[in-house]
């Protein structure tokens, strides 16, 4: 329920900035996106520390309530007709700060709910829930915006946080799979960084995440500018495009849920497919074909993101998991604070198709980083056998 509200707000916020508060200014939309995701990077030491040392359930109750309050304030301003661009910027920043603490705690809380044995499957199913809401939320938001305006989408999202707060209160705390908490020692804030630096596999994954997260995961800018400026779509058609992409993301998460264990080679394959999907979407001449290309983008994006999530959590010591997850999220989402304004500028200066081209390049560049790691540390050999390209990986995970 809350994820549906979240996607409604994302759709309404992008539409409000792009068509109501500005004259189709993608750079302004990029700025709002940067403010929303920048705190993941700026607050990294604190958010990882909180996820490893505080009670995650109680921390989630605080962050969810804060995000609900932010949505409520923006909704009231919008319905009252008093909203301005700076209001949206402040709301995005406050939402980003709460989300920066919420995300690593929420991701690592999954292991407390199901235990180690079911973690990879649970990560995929959790993502399936999020992306099922991605099918419903934007489409409902599009209809709601056309009927009564963007403000009501924000108010619905504010109310939806009540579902999460109720579920957290009703959990049987005594049955949680609580692991040992990290000791509060001097320098523990930087211990996660030192831990990652000693792990070439984690460094490679983070490098790939930075490239794709910074330059490729700017879907609000890609989809909104293509819908409005290339195809001349209205709010209903814009919301439908995001829902169509969710068909691909759900497919990707369900495929991930059926795998026994994440593999590094799958991360590389997801990056290549993502680059191909973005290039295909950039070249599509019609609204319908563009929507079909977004399905490919959705499958590849979720394959890449889910596999990195499961791979990093399962290969990390439990006491370090919160800080490593925070570093992962800061790299993937915090990079958006750098890439979103750039993507908006490219869309304004050269057109939305070129912005998608940058996303395609990020996927191919990430795949190159992954292949370099496999060749250096996993003995990857590439050759041709019986007319087919073959990949041989020694000591593969």
DSSP string across 243-309: HHHHHHHHHHHHHHHT-SS--HHHHHHHHHHHHHHHHHHHH--SHHHHHHHHHHHHHHHHHHHHHHH
Whether 314 shows a pLDDT value over 90: the answer reads: no
In a domain, 179, yes or no: no
Name 265's bridge partners. none
Express as a percent the part of the chain with pLDDT over 90. 43
Exposure of 193 in the CB half-sphere (CA atoms within 13 A): 10
The rounded distance, in Å, linking the Cα atoms of 308 and 205 is: 7
Q: What is the mean pLDDT of residues 362-386?
A: 81
Give the integer Cα–Cα distance in Å for 125 and 33: 27
Question: In this predicted structure, what is the pLDDT of residue 188?
Answer: 60
Q: Is 61 inside a domain boundary?
A: yes
Q: Per the domain annotation, does 72 fall within a domain?
A: yes
- Asked if the model's pLDDT at residue 72 lies above 70, the reply is yes
With 60 as the cut, is the pLDDT of residue 304 above it?
yes
Q: At 22, list the tokens.
A: 């500005």
Q: Answer positive or negative: Cα dihedral of 45, 51, 52, 58.
A: positive
pLDDT at 295: 92
Residue 174 confidence (pLDDT) above 80 = yes
Residue 379 — left, alpha, or beta (φ > 0 → left; ψ -120 to 50 → alpha)?
A: left
- Indicate if the pLDDT at residue 334 is higher than 80: no
Q: Please answer whether residues 100 and 39 qualify as being in contact, where contact means their C-beta atoms are separated by less than 8 angstroms.
A: yes
- Judged against a pLDDT cut of 70, whether residue 182 lies above it is answered with no
- Min mean pLDDT across 20-34, 118-132, 293-307 is at 118-132
Predicted pLDDT at 154? 96
Model confidence, pTM: 0.75
- Residues above pLDDT 70, as percent of the chain: 91
Residue 352 lies in a domain: yes
pLDDT value for 271: 94
pLDDT at 392: 62
| pLDDT score of 135 more than 70 | yes
Within-domain flag for 275 = yes
- In a domain, residue 183? The reply is no
What is the residue range of 294's domain? Answer: 2-172+188-392
Answer whether residue 285 is part of any domain. Answer: yes
Contact 182, 53 (CB under 8 A): yes
| Total domain count, the chain | 1
Task: Identify the top-confidence range among 15-29, 67-81, 304-318, 324-338.
Answer: 67-81
Q: Output the domain CATH number for residue 75.
A: 1.20.1250.20
Q: What is the pLDDT of residues 246-303, one digit of tens each?
A: 888 778 777 766 666 678 888 899 999 999 999 999 999 999 999 999 999 999 998 8
Which residue has better confidence, 220 or 13? 13
pLDDT above 70 (res 391): no
CB contact at 8 A, 123 and 313? yes
Cα of first residue to Cα of last residue in the chain, in angstroms, is 36
Whether 381 is in a domain gets the answer yes
Q: What is the pLDDT of residue 397?
A: 45
Q: Report the C-alpha gap between 13 and 5 in whole angstroms.
A: 12
Highest-pLDDT range among 81-90, 108-117, 189-198, 221-230: 81-90
pLDDT tens, residue by residue, 30-43: 999 889 888 888 88
Cβ contacts of 387 within 8 Å, gap of 6 or more: none
Of 98-107, 162-171, 258-267, 385-394, least confident by mean pLDDT is 385-394
Q: Is pLDDT at 50 greater than 90 in this prediction?
A: no
What pLDDT shows up at residue 258? 65
């Amino acid at each position: 329920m809350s994820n549906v509200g979240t996607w409604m707000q994302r759709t309404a916020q992008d539409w409000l900035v792009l068509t109501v508060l500005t004259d189709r200014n993608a750079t302004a939309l990029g700025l709002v996106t940067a403010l929303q995701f920048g705190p993941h990077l700026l607050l990294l030491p604190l958010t990882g520390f909180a996820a490893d040392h505080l009670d995650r359930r109680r921390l989630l109750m605080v962050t969810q309530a804060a995000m609900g309050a932010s949505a409520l304030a923006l909704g009231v301003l919008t319905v009252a007709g008093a909203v301005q661009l700076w209001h949206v910027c402040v709301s995005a920043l406050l939402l980003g700060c709460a989300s920066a603490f919420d995300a690593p705690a929420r991701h690592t809380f999954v292991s407390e709910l199901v235990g180690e044995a079911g973690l990879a499957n649970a990560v995929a199913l959790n993502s399936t829930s999020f992306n099922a809401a991605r099918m419903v939320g934007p489409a409902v938001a599009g209809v709601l915006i056309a009927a009564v305006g963007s403000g009501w989408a924000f108010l619905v999202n504010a109310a939806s946080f009540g579902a999460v707060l109720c579920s957290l209160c009703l959990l049987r705390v005594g049955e949680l799979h609580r692991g040992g908490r990290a000791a509060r020692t001097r320098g523990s804030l930087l211990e996660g960084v030192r831990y990652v630096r000693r792990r070439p596999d984690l460094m490679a994954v983070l490098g790939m995440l930075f490239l794709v997260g910074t330059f490729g995961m700017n879907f609000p800018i890609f989809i909104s500018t293509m819908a409005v400026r290339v195809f001349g779509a209205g709010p209903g058609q814009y919301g439908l495009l995001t829902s169509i992409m969710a068909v691909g993301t759900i497919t990707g998460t369900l495929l991930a849920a059926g795998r026994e264990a994440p593999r590094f080679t799958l991360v590389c394959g997801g990056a290549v497919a993502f680059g191909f999907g973005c290039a295909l979407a950039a070249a599509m001449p019609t609204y319908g074909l563009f929507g079909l290309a977004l399905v490919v983008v959705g499958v590849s994006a979720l394959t890449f993101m889910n596999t990195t999530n499961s791979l990093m959590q399962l290969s990390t010591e439990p006491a370090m998991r919160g800080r490593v997850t925070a570093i992962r999220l800061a790299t993937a989402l915090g990079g958006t604070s750098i890439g979103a304004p750039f993507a908006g500028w490219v869309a304004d200066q050269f057109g939305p198709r070129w912005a998608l081209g940058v996303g395609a390049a990020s996927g191919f560049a990430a795949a190159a980083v992954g292949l370099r790691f496999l060749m250096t540390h996993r003995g990857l050999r590439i050759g041709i056998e019986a007319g087919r390209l073959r990949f041989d990986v020694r000591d593969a995970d």
